[in-house]
């Protein structure tokens, strides 16, 4: 056995190898301990949030009525009944992990046409009523990471690991042909992780593009109609650099841009900027112990309540944002045994004994632990105290029941924004 003192007399190459071996040993030991802790926690919280077990990991999720539409790392698009937990529809067409999904919505916020993106670099369009694949578009030279529809402009926007943002015409998506490309942005130097926009007219919009370096670029989009086919032009208006590293999620509403980042913060900025009043200060970053991979600002939802939910590590945190300059942490919920990756509002409808419909706000969370969990919003805002944990003697032989393969770890690192 070689000690650290012995390495002083070893040749440089052998000394470096010895230190590397020790580093790998300690890392492997830490991973075994973490695996064991996750296994014990999985058993301890196995019933919390009425978990729905998935065959794969949910990489994106949208809630429609009582159903969750999920893009899985298995390449399948899955529709799950949130009341029964059963899969009621599967869409197969991608040849690699499905990373993103969104709907083409009408003025009432409804839509049966689903758009999905994948590691296979394509964008697929589906009729959800018939499960028919309408079209498939070779979209990027690398993974499709994010999709955004601006319904009033008949515009689809995609972002990719190839660092490009592309614009697609949705006017004739029913034709079954690949979508026409009608513009692009190539200003980012890192993979484009997330998109959000606000429409200003049928021919213009403001677009926010966030990358894995933490840079958020703000663009004015304008539709140009000349002799040929219409094109969309992007003009850079602003650049936001309030994050130190990758932006994971962005949500816009009521003049506020909410962001989650691998720099362990959730932040909100006013955009367009508003003049500061005397004696006021900008909202401070909400610092977390781990990367923030999910946010749900309830003030931009139909609830219009001044609360923010965040997912950091395996914990869901609730904040009172009545005064963004002085946020108040309301509570923490030990929600999953692996990282929380998405938080979505679910307006749950139930029938009362007298035949009336009761609508109650719930929150849906997804995680790398392959579950969807359901939480009454009121419980997240005022979580019960944690149950005492019984101490157990250390277990020498740790189970690998929850250990992901090396290939899956690489896939997830890529998907979660560590590819810059």
pLDDT tens for each residue of 313-363: 999 999 999 999 999 999 999 999 999 999 999 999 998 888 899 999 999
Give pLDDT, residue 9. 43
pLDDT (average), residues 368-394: 80
Min mean pLDDT across 201-205, 249-253, 290-294, 410-414 is at: 410-414
Q: Looking at the predicted structure, is the pLDDT value of residue 390 above 50?
A: yes
pLDDT of residue 317: 98
Structural domains of the chain in order of their starting residue, each with its CATH number: 52-385+400-415 (2.130.10.10)
pTM of the model: 0.85
pLDDT band with cut points at 50, 70 and 90 for residue 397:
very low
| pLDDT of res. 227 | 75
Average pLDDT taken over every residue of the chain: 89
5 has a pLDDT exceeding 50: no
Provide the pLDDT confidence category of residue 412 given band limits of 50, 70 and 90.
low
Mean pLDDT, residues 10-21: 55
Cβ-in-10-Å burial (0-12, 13-18, 19+) of 334 comes to middle
Q: For position 10, what pLDDT does the model report? A: 43
Tens digits of per-residue pLDDT, 194-239? 999 999 999 999 999 999 999 999 999 999 987 778 899 999 999 9
Strand, helix or coil at 404? coil
Is residue 207 a contact partner of residue 166, using CB atoms and an 8 Å limit? Answer: no
Q: Which of 241, 247, 270, 244 is nearest to 259 (CA)?
A: 247
pLDDT value at 391 more than 90: no
Q: What is the pLDDT of residue 89?
A: 98
pLDDT at 223: 96
Average pLDDT over residues 407-413: 61
pLDDT for 157 beyond 90: yes
Cβ neighbors of 256 (< 8 A, separation 6 or more) are: 268, 269, 270, 271, 297, 299, 300, 324
Up-side HSE of residue 294: CA atoms within 13 Å toward CB? Answer: 28
51-62: average pLDDT: 97
How does residue 24 score in pLDDT terms, banded at 50, 70 and 90?
Answer: low
Chain mean position to CA 190: 18
Average pLDDT of the segment spanning 149-166 = 97
């Amino acid at each position: 056995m070689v000690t650290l003192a012995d390495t002083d007399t070893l040749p440089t190459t052998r000394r470096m190898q010895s230190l590397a071996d020790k580093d790998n040993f300690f890392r492997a030991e830490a991973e075994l301990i973490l695996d064991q802790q996750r296994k014990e926690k999985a058993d301890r919280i196995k019933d919390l949030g009425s978990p729905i077990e998935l065959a794969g990991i949910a990489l994106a999720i949208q809630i429609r009525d009582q159903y969750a539409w999920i893009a899985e790392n298995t390449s399948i698009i899955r529709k799950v009944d949130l009341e029964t937990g059963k899969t009621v529809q599967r869409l197969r067409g991608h040849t690699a992990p499905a990373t993103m999904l969104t709907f083409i919505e009408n003025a009432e916020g409804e839509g049966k046409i689903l758009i999905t993106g994948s590691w296979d670099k394509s964008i697929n369009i589906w009729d959800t009523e018939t499960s028919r694949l309408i079209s498939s578009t070779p979209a990027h030279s690398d993974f499709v990471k994010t999709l955004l529809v601006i319904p009033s402009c008949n515009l689809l926007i995609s972002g990719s690991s190839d660092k490009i943002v592309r614009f697609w015409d949705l006017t004739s998506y029913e034709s079954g042909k690949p979508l026409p490309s009608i513009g692009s942005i190539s200003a980012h130097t890192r993979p484009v992780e997330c998109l959000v926009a606000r429409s200003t007219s049928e021919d213009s919009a403001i677009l926010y593009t966030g990358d894995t370096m933490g840079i958020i670029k703000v663009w004015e989009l304008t539709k140009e109609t000349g002799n040929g086919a219409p094109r969309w032009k992007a003009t850079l208006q602003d650049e936001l650099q309030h994050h130190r590293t990758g932006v994971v999620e962005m949500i816009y509403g009521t003049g506020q841009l909410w962001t989650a980042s691998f720099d362990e913060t959730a932040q909100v900025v006013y955009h367009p900027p508003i003049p500061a009043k005397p004696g006021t200060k900008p909202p401070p970053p909400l610092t977390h112990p781990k990367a923030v991979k999910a946010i749900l600002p309830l003030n931009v939802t139909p609830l219009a309540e001044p609360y923010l939910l965040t997912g950091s590590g395996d914990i869901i945190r609730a904040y009172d944002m009545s005064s963004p300059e002085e946020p108040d942490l309301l509570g923490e919920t030990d929600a999953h045994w692996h990282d929380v990756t998405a938080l979505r509002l679910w307006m749950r409808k139930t029938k009362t004994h007298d035949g009336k419909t009761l609508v109650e706000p719930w929150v849906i969370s997804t995680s790398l632990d392959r579950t969807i969990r359901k939480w009454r919003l009121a419980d997240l805002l005022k979580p019960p105290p944690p149950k005492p944990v019984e101490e157990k003697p250390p277990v020498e032989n740790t189970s690998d029941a929850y250990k992901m393969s090396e290939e899956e770890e690489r896939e997830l690192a890529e998907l979660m924004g560590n590819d810059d």
